[in-house]
């Protein structure tokens, strides 16, 4: 076992945005990022403990517990930290031998609604040493510690050959093929919105981070804009005016969002969840379809999500004519080189998915049109500011503020790039990696899309009151892509 020096006791104030995520837990939705690694061949409990203690605790945040007070919260060093509280052995029931994946999914659903122990740092790993010819590592991390992109840096640290991100220069390449994510990101919602927001503020690099932190203080931001505009004369003043107009327009659009269509997936959630996932789609096939249709990989995948949900509703006897649902999509607001700092620095973009379009190609083009309309929007940045404001309100006021948005939303959806080649962990292959971000308020459906090892994998987590069997949605993803692929090949192409 790794020998650690006794940590120095420190107290650090939690950011406003992280405080908002800490206080967002509810009986229906706990604010945990949950995931699972399927590892082949199996790994031992001792090896996992040693790896996590050696690598994960290089990030001070994972050795700190949360201390609440009247005005917010602080990160406090856990001087009695014990790795065995956070890396646990997990055993599936004997019946799991016949249906191991189903048993693992059921356990993941249970853990998604089991709170972390607030007396200790808010994370744990659970190892199923013998699972389907290998091992399974179940991961739970409270959202107040980090967002999904930041946790990619954590993963880079844990895998074999992983380096310590804090020691890596900002210009250094991402290890283990993570640089392949750049191509993916250029086809997702993440990058275009981030770049547009940075350019709109007239800042780049380190300055962008300060701008995003300042969103919690609107007067600070306004002073920056006015200073910048006055220093540049008439042209600068025009830029400030255009930016102010865009902020007002996008802010109004965010505040006045209409309700999305009522479906059986929307309502009052209960207190139990289930998760499901499918076999990966070949990323090269998805890329080929996107190029043939002159759209992004992201457009293709979102169209498949819309098609799968629409088919699920039809199977339950529901009409989807003219119906559409809103999914909140996290949008990164920091450079990748800053992800190792953890915390939450992302906004939310409302993406409306058309369910009523039966033709898969027509659906792709409609998704492309809607995504193009979102590019350059300030809405993710404004949503980040809203979370910062929520973090200083009393909890009832925070809940009321955020529930206005959850009532207009059916799902939370994430789209995260990973390396093209499969990684190794403790000498074994990391065969599959899946994760789900939490839903908030009354939202009962979460969809995750992850590229990894040459494939694209869909995962769904659902509240069982609203969607008792998420596997029925998952089972529609591959058929929807196959229909789209077949119709694409049948189109008349010119030489």
Q: DSSP H helical segments within 23-74, as ranges?
A: 45-55
Pick among 3.55.50.30, 3.40.50.300, 3.30.559.10, 3.30.390.50: CATH of 11-180: 3.30.559.10
pLDDT of residue 492: 72
- Cα–Cα distance, 417 to 394 (Å, whole number): 36
pTM score of the predicted model:
0.80
Identify the band that residue 489 occupies on the pLDDT scale cut at 50, 70 and 90.
confident
Decide if 159 contacts 172 (C-beta within 8 A).
no
**pLDDT above 70 for 177:** no
**If we measure between CA atoms, which residue out of 364, 335, 376, 330 comes closest to residue 349?**
330
CA dist 414 → 59, 98, 188, 293, 341 (Å): 24, 31, 10, 23, 20
Q: What pLDDT band is residue 348 in, cutting at 50, 70 and 90? A: confident
- Predicted local distance difference test score (pLDDT) of residue 127: 96
Mean pLDDT of 87-95: 89
104-137 confidence digits (pLDDT tens): 999 999 999 999 999 999 999 999 999 989 999 9
pLDDT score for 397: 64
CA 36, distance to chain mean position in Å, is: 14
pLDDT in tens, 144-156: 998 877 887 787 7
Residues 6+ apart with CB under 8 A from 482: none
Q: Which band of pLDDT confidence, cut at 50, 70 and 90, is reported for residue 162? A: confident
d(C-alpha 209, C-alpha 494), whole Å: 47
Instruction: Identify the pLDDT of residue 217.
Output: 44
**Residue-level pLDDT at 195:** 43
Residue 319 CB-density burial (10 A; 0-12 exposed, 13-18 middle, 19+ buried)? exposed
Beta carbons within 8 Å of 343's beta carbon, 6+ residues apart: 15, 17, 18, 145, 146, 147, 150
Q: Which residue has the tokens 């962008």?
A: 208
Beta bridge partners of 331: 347
- Rounded mean pLDDT of 180-184? 37
- Sorted by sequence, the CB contacts under 8 Å of residue 6 that are 6+ apart come out as 79
Provide CB contacts within 8 A for 348, sequence distance 6+: 328, 329, 330, 331, 379, 380, 383, 384
Instruction: Report the pLDDT averaged over residues 244-261.
Output: 59
- In this prediction, residues 161-170 reach a mean pLDDT of 59
Under the banding of pLDDT at 50, 70 and 90, the label for residue 464 is very high
Q: b/e string for 355-373 if b means 16 or more Cβ within 10 A?
A: bebeebbebbbbbbebbee
pLDDT digits (tens, 9 = 90+) for 409-455: 899 888 877 888 899 999 999 999 998 888 888 889 999 998 889 99
Q: How confident is residue 328, by pLDDT bands cut at 50, 70 and 90? A: confident
pLDDT at 260: 79
User: What does the alpha-carbon distance between residue 349 and residue 379 come to, in Å, rounded to a whole number?
Assistant: 6
Q: Is 474 left (phi over 0), alpha (psi -120 to 50) or beta?
A: alpha
pLDDT of residue 34: 93
What b/e readout covers 214-252, taking b as 16+ CB neighbours within 10 angstroms? bbbeeeebeebbeebbeeeeeebeebbeebeeebeebbe
Q: Is the pLDDT at 231 greater than 70, yes or no?
A: no
Which superfamily, per CATH, for 263-372+405-421+438-490? Nonribosomal peptide synthetase, condensation domain (3.30.559.30)
Contact 443, 29 (CB under 8 A): yes
d(C-alpha 418, C-alpha 155), whole Å: 10
Res 236: pLDDT: 54
Q: Exposure pattern of 89-125 as b/e (b: 16+ CB <10 Å)?
A: ebebeeebeeebeebbbbbbbebbbeebeeebbbbbb
Residue-wise pLDDT for 294-319, tens only, equals: 999 999 999 999 999 999 999 999 99
Contact 316, 388 (CB under 8 A): no
The contacts of residue 219 (CB under 8 Å, 6+ apart) are: none
Average pLDDT, the chain: 79
- Per-residue pLDDT at 201 exceeds 50: no
pLDDT single digits (tens) 205-228: 333 334 344 444 444 444 454 455
* 11-180 and 263-372+405-421+438-490 have identical folds: yes
pLDDT greater at residue 244 or residue 45: 45
Closest to 206 (Cα-Cα) out of 170, 238, 179: 170
Task: For residues 385-405, give the mean pLDDT.
Answer: 61
Residue 203 has pLDDT above 50, yes or no: no
pLDDT top residue among 231 and 470 = 470
Q: Which band of pLDDT confidence, cut at 50, 70 and 90, is reported for residue 28?
A: very high
Tokens of residue 24, six digits:
């967002």
Q: Could you tell me what percent of the chain has a pLDDT over 70?
A: 72
User: So where are the chain's domains?
Assistant: 11-180, 263-372+405-421+438-490
Report pLDDT for 229. Answer: 52
Q: Which residues pair with 351 in a beta bridge?
A: 327
């Amino acid at each position: 076992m790794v020998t650690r020096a006794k940590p120095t006791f420190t107290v650090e104030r939690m950011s406003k945005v992280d405080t908002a995520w800490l206080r967002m837990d509810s009986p229906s939705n706990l604010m945990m990022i949950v995931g699972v690694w399927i590892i082949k061949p199996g790994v031992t409990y001792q090896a996992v403990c040693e790896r996590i203690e050696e690598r994960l605790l290089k990030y001070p945040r994972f050795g700190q517990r949360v201390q609440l007070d009247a005005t917010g919260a602080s990160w406090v060093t856990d001087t009695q930290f014990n790795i065995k509280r956070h890396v646990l052995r997990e055993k599936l029931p004997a019946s799991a031998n016949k249906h191991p994946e189903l048993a693992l999914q059921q356990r993941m659903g249970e853990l998604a609604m089991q709170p972390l122990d607030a007396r200790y740092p808010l994370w744990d790993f659970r190892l199923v040493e013998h699972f389907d010819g290998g091992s399974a590592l179940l991961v739970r991390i409270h959202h107040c510690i980090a967002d999904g992109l930041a946790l990619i840096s954590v993963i880079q640290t844990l895998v074999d050959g992983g380096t310590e991100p804090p020691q890596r220069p900002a210009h250094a390449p991402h290890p283990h093929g993570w640089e392949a994510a750049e191509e993916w990101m250029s086809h997702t919602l993440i990058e275009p919105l981030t770049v547009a927001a940075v350019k709109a503020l007239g800042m780049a690099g380190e300055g962008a981070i300060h701008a995003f932190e300042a969103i919690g203080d609107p007067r600070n931001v306004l002073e920056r804009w006015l200073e910048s505009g006055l220093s540049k004369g008439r042209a600068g003043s025009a830029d400030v005016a255009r930016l102010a107009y865009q902020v007002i327009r996008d802010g109004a659009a965010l505040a006045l969002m209409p309700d999305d269509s009522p479906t059986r997936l929307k309502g009052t959630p209960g207190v139990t969840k289930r998760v499901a996932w499918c076999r990966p789609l070949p990323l090269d096939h998805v890329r080929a379809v996107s190029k043939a249709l002159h759209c992004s990989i992201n457009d293709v995948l979102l169209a498949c999500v819309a098609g799968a949900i629409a088919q699920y509703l039809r199977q339950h006897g529901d009409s989807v004519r003219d119906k559409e649902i809103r999914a909140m999509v996290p949008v990164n607001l920091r450079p990748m080189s800053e992800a190792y700092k953890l915390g939450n620095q992302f906004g939310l973009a409302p993406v409306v998915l058309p369910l009523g379009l039966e033709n898969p190609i027509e659906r792709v083009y409609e998704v492309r049109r809607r995504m193009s309309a979102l590019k350059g929007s300030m809405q993710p940045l404004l949503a980040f500011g809203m979370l910062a404001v929520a973090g200083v309100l009393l909890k009832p006021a925070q809940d009321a503020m955020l529930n206005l948005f959850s009532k207009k939303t059916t799902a939370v959806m994430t789209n995260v790039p990973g390396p093209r080649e499969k990684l190794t962990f403790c000498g074994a292959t990391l065969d599959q990696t899946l994760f789900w971000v939490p839903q908030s308020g009354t939202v009962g459906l979460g969809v995750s899309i992850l590229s990894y090892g040459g494939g694209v994998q869909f995962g769904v987590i659902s509240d069982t009151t609203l969607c008792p069997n998420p596997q029925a949605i998952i089972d529609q993803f591959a058929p929807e892509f196959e229909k789209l692929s077949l119709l694409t090949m049948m189109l008349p192409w010119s030489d």
